[in-house]
Amino acid sequence: MLPFGLLLLASLVCATPRPLVLWHGLGDSANAPGMKQFAEEIKQVHQGIFVHSIYIEEDLDKDRRAGFYGNVNEQIELVSEQLAAIPQLESGFDAIGFSQGGQFLRAYVERFNSPPVHNLITFGSQHFGISDIPTCGPRDFLCQIARRAVKSGVYSSWAQSNLVTAQYFRDPANLEEYYASNTFLTSINNEIAETRNETYARNFASLNKLVLVIFTKDKTVVPKESSWFASEVVVDDSGLSQQVLSDERAIIPMRQQPLYVEDWIGLRQLDERGDVIFVECDGEHMEIGPCWEELVRNYAG
């Protein structure tokens, strides 16, 4: 039998929630009031939990700008260094990604994962990219400028290195140019056969649970089913589909994607283990409402 002191220590260790890492979405910041409030609400659910909110820049306005402008591959490498330097995370953590923060966290898992992610929850994330640029509020001038720049030359070398949304723009009618110019989404989805990375699949399949949240009325993520690794149907010059339609919306669901069938990133392995959880939140993009608490209770901490 263990001495009382060791038993007490063991019970304290077991009672300590696993740390949690958050990555905000487009137009937000790690230090924004909403992100800080969400972290505090999580701490009410899991007493004593350590929560870290990822930032590119510590200044709120600069961090928000980095969500629109920057090289995503470089940002994810910076974040890997940031997480590796936090002692509380060294044994691993759970992670929640909001909107584009979700696929960025997935990129971290695939490319680095040191320290490792246990459960990954993504809310309304563009895992299979977007085929249109999100609209902006009438006074959101930073967003409006970025949107015009992306729309005018989404596959230019400058846009693919400097405009964040351009780096996960995937036009089903122009996949050839997407494959030729994109170095972020094509990479984390292992879409280019010549550069396919087995480490990505091995790391992603090491997740305990992958929780994919879709917003039922999402008009910001186009198509919204990208949150569930679905994409729009590719249409040829005659207007006829080159893929089997899943429904009237012309969406190819996750399990019909070559990425899944050939298991380019370990997603099929996760799914066949029963470790991919599909969740619907009723509302517009990032209207999380009551959805978050049950997921945090079950898959975080």
More confident residue, 141 or 30: 30
Q: pLDDT digits over 185-230, tens only?
A: 999 999 999 999 999 999 999 999 999 999 999 999 999 999 999 9
pLDDT averaged over every residue in the chain: 90
Tell me: pLDDT of 163 over 90: yes
Q: pLDDT digits over 20-68, tens only?
A: 999 999 999 999 999 999 999 999 999 999 999 999 999 999 999 999 9
Q: Catalytic positions, please? A: 99, 218, 285
Range of weakest confidence among 164-178, 197-211, 232-246:
232-246
The domains located in the chain, with CATH, are 24-299 (3.40.50.1820)
Name the pTM for this structure: 0.88
* Number of Cβ within a 10 Å radius of residue 240: 8
